[in-house]
Structure 1
Amino acid sequence: MSGKAHTRRRVPAHAPSHWTFFRQWLKSPLSIAAISPSSRHLARQMLAELPSQARKVIELGGGTGVFTSALLEHGIVPDELLVLELNEELHQHLRQRFPDARVECGDARELPCVAERCGFLDDGPADAVLSGLGLLSMGKETQHAIMDAAFKVLRPEDGRFIQFTYGPTCPVKSEVLADLGLSARRGGLTWWNMPPATVYVFTRNRSRQVTTVSMR
């Protein structure tokens, strides 16, 4: 078999993806965290923080699919990946690019309802949530609602919320972490992203009792 047959299949059309993202940023710059999609370097940093046996993953703010593509290449089965995107044009872009994944249009604050409605939680909670949302620019109430929603669909023992930020400090306010009983750990930093980004990992404090979404 030729070497070409062993080449890992990649999704093409990077230029259209970048143009789609930039056009949406022009329409609503406050609702989209950056002027261009995240880089593959940042995607590798984010995936490095997944639990070693991660099987079920949720992505918040799918954008043009940089993290989605990386997760599928990493080995996450399309049916075990839920991608949530609020922007309708980006949502349609993701559905066309990843037809086998569960791609839903919705608000991250409504994640438990969306995940139940599409059947993602039928066989148990998620191992990890990867977030491309601009948490740093959000108010305390919005941050609280998003983090609370995410941890309601994560495994109670070891579920992880993985977030990147362009800021110099933790993107989630300390009051939100304290109220929800969460801990933050700084992960990798990539200078090859534009702008440079830092990864943070959020987990439950072990002494905290958290109620997850009940399964059918």
Structure 2
Amino acid sequence: MSHFRRKNATAAAESPVAWTFFRQWLKNPLSMAAFSPSGKQLARAMVSQLPPGARRIVELGGGTGVFTRALLDHGIRASDLLVVELNEPLHRLLQHRFPGVHVVRGDARRLTELAAGEHFLEEGPADAVVSGLGLLSMSRGMQRDILNAAFSVLAPHGRFIQFTYGPVSPVSRELLGELGLHARRGTMAWINVPPATVYTYTRSRSTAIPAQAAAPR
């Protein structure tokens, strides 16, 4: 085993949570954004981009719950947080770690359906979608579907918050124009492994991607 693999296997084994994440990465590295969970600095950078007074949040790709924990510590109530995770072992881990949070297993492209199944939209649309998905490695079509789904549950001035390991926005200028979205570069988490940059995406015109109306009560 190479020094790189020995070092990361040892680090992962020191924490059951990190080890769960690392094992899932080994099984399917292309489906996960990194070989280790995001760090606390990146989590703080993501949370810092929430809109002022944000109350209801959706998280995509919950992983081991690094962002989930940061959102709860920020003051988001468990009942106002919906976490979507496709990977079954990670989904079970999130359910165990955060019993009061709406944790659902499913594809982010089906977010509207998943949110409705949890009755999450009955209290109104989300203020922000915090994404731990690896958008950079996805096709343009998949990115389009995820962004459409995300903005369908967002309030008109809601934000889609995404991190990337690349040097520029993981969503191309062409796709942003097609969807009527505006990208803004935020904080860079230098000590994250690997270093990551946070971007926020908002609607740039009133006709872009209509928000999901709250279900009648």
Above 0.5 in TM-score? yes
Q: Structure 1 residue 212: deviation in Å?
A: 2.2
Gaps of 5+ in 2: 1-12
Cα distance in structure 2, aligned partners of 1:170 and 1:94: 28
The reply on whether 1:185 has 2:184 as its aligned counterpart is yes
Pairing of 1:57-72 with structure 2 (within 5 A): 57-72=57-72
Residue identity opposite 2:170 in structure 1: P
CA deviations over 1:80-99 (Å, ceiling 9, x no partner) = 00000000000000000000
Greater CA drift, 97-106 or 172-181: 172-181
Equivalent residue, structure 2, for 1:205: 204
Cα distance in structure 1, aligned partners of 2:48 and 2:14: 23
Gaps of 5+ in 1: 1-12
Identity %: 59
Equivalent residue, structure 2, for 1:142: 142
SS at match of 1:115: helix
The reply on whether 1:40 has 2:40 as its aligned counterpart is yes
Residue identity opposite 2:192 in structure 1: N
CA deviations over 1:6-55 (Å, ceiling 9, x no partner) = xxxxxxx9811100000000000000010100000000000110011000
Residue identity opposite 1:147 in structure 2: L
Equivalent residue, structure 1, for 2:76: 76
Q: Structure 1 residue 207: deviation in Å?
A: 4.0
Cα distance in structure 1, aligned partners of 2:159 and 2:210: 15
Equivalent residue, structure 2, for 1:194: 193
Displacement over 4 Å in runs of 4+: none
Residue identity opposite 1:204 in structure 2: R
Equivalent residue, structure 2, for 1:6: none
Q: 1:209 to 1:172 in 2, by over 3 A?
A: closer
TM-score, length of structure 1 as denominator length: 0.91
Contact 2:45-2:198 within 8 A present in 1 as well: yes
Q: Structure 1 residue 209: deviation in Å?
A: 4.3
SS at match of 1:122: helix
SS at match of 1:127: strand
Number of paired residues? 203
TM-score, length of structure 2 as denominator length: 0.91
More helix by share: 2
